[in-house]
């Protein structure tokens, strides 16, 4: 009999191992617990920074959320230029979303407010133009000039001009953490307000492969990782990684978490609502069951609350980038060809940045990449890994998912550029203030990068605000469950009598 019990225990253990090894990005299916388990540990310190969850909740929901949502509704931030026609550079694009909710609505360039000013930013001066006849002053205009003594051959061949242009492109690329395709011939303008981020039905092997490739092939992982088929790094293993590697992983995890929250909060509840006033595109709203499936500890090997903490960590990182580039961003024109709109946008920017400056516990990027050659190598790998992730976004098979994936990835890439490129490290740059900011010599960020940066931060702010809604929904469910149990058990007197007689005992709620 004892041997039989050992066999049963062994079989159960083997089944558990098979489940873990066969794990994909879809976590194992089991009924979610109807409790507040997702939020029980979502408080206190975040780790790798001095801030805590509760401080961010209040700061975001009360101060930042209303400001950033109002800001990104301005014309300057509504229009995003992106190339959604790029082929996947890593594998054959074998799955395209055919649902109507996957499609996006593009707009003509003429409908973009301030389009002329937008295009001026892309008229970059070629290095070869410095030596053209129009750009040089003839030396023989001087009275004491001797042509024979002062002769200088300033001709540059077409091949040399091409090489100089490549040098400049290479130098510029060293600062970028993600690819920018707004200069591509196939790039189009998209009105973000007409293409909201929400659950489109895009799922399955194609969608899973995106995140599996990001986590398993492009994220830093512990050198000894026993969970090779498990795409994520367990929070207990993060201590086996250096600070820079942890920051990278937690930033990607926070981005993934934020996107998942958006999909859960804007879920297609039904194709059509009963009645004549039904919206033409169906009914969208929060899906609590889907939220629990993605974040409940019982569904995620206990990792769900840690993923939610990574959202707060990424929020701190991007907020620090806004604060660091704040003086530069305050001097941007935000041109839309409407003086009143532009002035309102500039005032809104200064107001929100002022609130961000007041936050006491910003992310401290100065602790990273210190240590000579080894740190320089790690920084190069850090940038290359993220650059690769930005390319993976072209493999997304749903156009709407691709749009918001590329925008939020570019927003995070812009934040990393601000934090780690070194161009914002020196205070009191002598060049600042001498020329108008729109002068090409002082352009540190292109318009598309600024649009992505603010919209990406707005998405993180929205995610944290949505967590409050899901927390309330879970609390409401718990209260309803209490009522149902007590109703099914009879009156309080009957329950007491049962307890006294050794019968059913009342359930204790935490």
Question: Can you say which residues are annotated as belonging to the binding site for FAD?
Answer: 198, 200, 211, 253, 256, 294
Structure-block tokens of residue 358: 């007041």
Distances (CA, A) of 390 to 100, 336, 357, 367, 370: 25, 28, 29, 25, 26
Q: Are 79 and 189 in contact (CB under 8 A)?
A: yes
The helix-helix angle for 243-265 and 447-489 (nearest 10°) equals 60
Q: Are 276 and 460 in contact (CB under 8 A)?
A: no
Based on the residue annotation, tell me whether 401 is a catalytic residue of this protein.
yes
Catalytic residue among 38, 97, 264, 398: 398
Structure-block tokens of residue 456: 């990406």
Known binding-site residue numbers: 198, 200, 211, 253, 256, 294
User: How many C-beta neighbours within 10 Å does residue 34 have?
Assistant: 15
Angle 442-444-450 from CA coordinates, rounded to 5°: 125
Q: Which long-range contacts (CB under 8 A, 24 or more apart) does 374-378 make?
A: 378/242, 378/244
For residues 43 and 24, give the distance between their C-alpha atoms in angstroms, rounded to a whole number.
29
Catalytic residue among 102, 180, 395, 401: 401
How does DSSP classify residue 145? -
- Which 3-state string (H, E, C) describes 323-342? HHCHHHHHCCCCCCCCHHHH
For residues 363 and 43, give the distance between their C-alpha atoms in angstroms, rounded to a whole number.
18
For residues 24 and 230, give the distance between their C-alpha atoms in angstroms, rounded to a whole number.
7
How does DSSP classify residue 70? H
Q: How many whole angstroms from its chain centre is CA 405?
A: 8
Among 369, 423, 411, residue whose Cα is nearest residue 386 = 411
Based on the residue annotation, tell me whether 264 is a catalytic residue of this protein.
no
Report strand pairing: 106-107 vs 188-191: antiparallel
As annotated, the active-site residues are 398, 401
């Amino acid at each position: 009999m004892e041997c039989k019990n050992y066999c049963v225990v062994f079989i159960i253990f083997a089944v558990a191992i098979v489940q873990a090894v066969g794990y994909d990005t879809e976590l194992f299916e089991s009924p979610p617990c109807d409790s507040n388990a997702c939020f029980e540990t979502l408080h206190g310190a975040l780790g790798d920074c001095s801030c805590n969850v509760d401080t961010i909740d209040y700061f975001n929901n009360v101060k930042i959320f209303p400001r950033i949502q109002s800001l990104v509704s301005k014309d300057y931030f509504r229009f995003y230029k992106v190339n959604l026609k790029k082929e996947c550079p890593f594998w054959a694009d074998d799955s395209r979303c055919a649902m109507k909710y996957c499609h996006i609505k593009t707009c003509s360039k003429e409908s973009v407010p301030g389009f002329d000013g937008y295009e001026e930013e892309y008229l970059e001066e070629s290095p070869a133009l410095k030596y053209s006849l129009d750009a040089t002053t003839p030396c023989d205009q001087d009275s004491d000039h001797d042509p024979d003594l002062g002769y200088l051959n300033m001709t540059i061949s077409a091949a040399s001009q091409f090489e100089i242009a490549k040098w400049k492109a290479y130098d510029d690329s060293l600062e970028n953490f993600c690819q920018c395709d707004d200069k591509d011939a196939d790039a189009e303008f998209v009105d973000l307000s007409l293409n909201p981020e929400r659950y489109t039905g895009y799922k399955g092997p194609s969608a899973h492969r995106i995140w599996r490739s990001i986590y398993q092939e492009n994220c830093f992982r512990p050198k000894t990782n026993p969970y090779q088929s498990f795409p994520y790094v367990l929070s207990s293993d993060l201590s086996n990684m250096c600070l820079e590697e942890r920051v990278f992983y937690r930033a990607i995890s926070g981005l993934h978490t934020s996107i998942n929250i958006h999909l859960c909060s804007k879920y297609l509840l039904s194709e059509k609502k009963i009645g004549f006033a039904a919206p033409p595109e169906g009914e969208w709203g929060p899906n609590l069951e889907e939220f629990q499936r993605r974040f409940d500890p019982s569904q995620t090997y206990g990792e769900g609350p840690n993923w939610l903490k990574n959202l707060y960590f990424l929020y701190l990182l991007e907020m620090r980038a806004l604060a660091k580039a704040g003086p530069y961003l305050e001097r941007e024109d935000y041109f839309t060809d409407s003086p009143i709109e532009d002035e309102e946008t500039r005032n809104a920017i200064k107001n929100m940045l002022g609130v961000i400056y007041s936050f006491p516990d910003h992310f401290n990027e100065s602790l990273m990449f210190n240590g000579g050659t080894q740190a320089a190598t790690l920084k190069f790998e850090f940038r290359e890994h993220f650059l690769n992730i930005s390319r993976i976004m072209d493999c997304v098979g749903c156009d709407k998912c691709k749009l918001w994936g590329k925008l939020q990835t570019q927003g995070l890439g812009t934040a990393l550029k601000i934090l780690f490129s070194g161009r914002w490290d020196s205070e009191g740059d002598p060049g600042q203030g001498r020329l108008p900011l729109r002068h090409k010599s002082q352009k540190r960020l292109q318009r598309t990068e600024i649009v992505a940066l603010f919209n990406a931060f707005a998405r993180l702010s929205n995610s944290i605000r949505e967590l409050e809604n899901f927390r309330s929904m879970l609390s409401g469910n718990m209260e309803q469950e209490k009522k149902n149990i007590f109703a099914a058990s009879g009156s309080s007197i009957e329950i007491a009598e049962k307890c006294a007689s050794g019968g059913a005992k009342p359930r204790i709620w935490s």
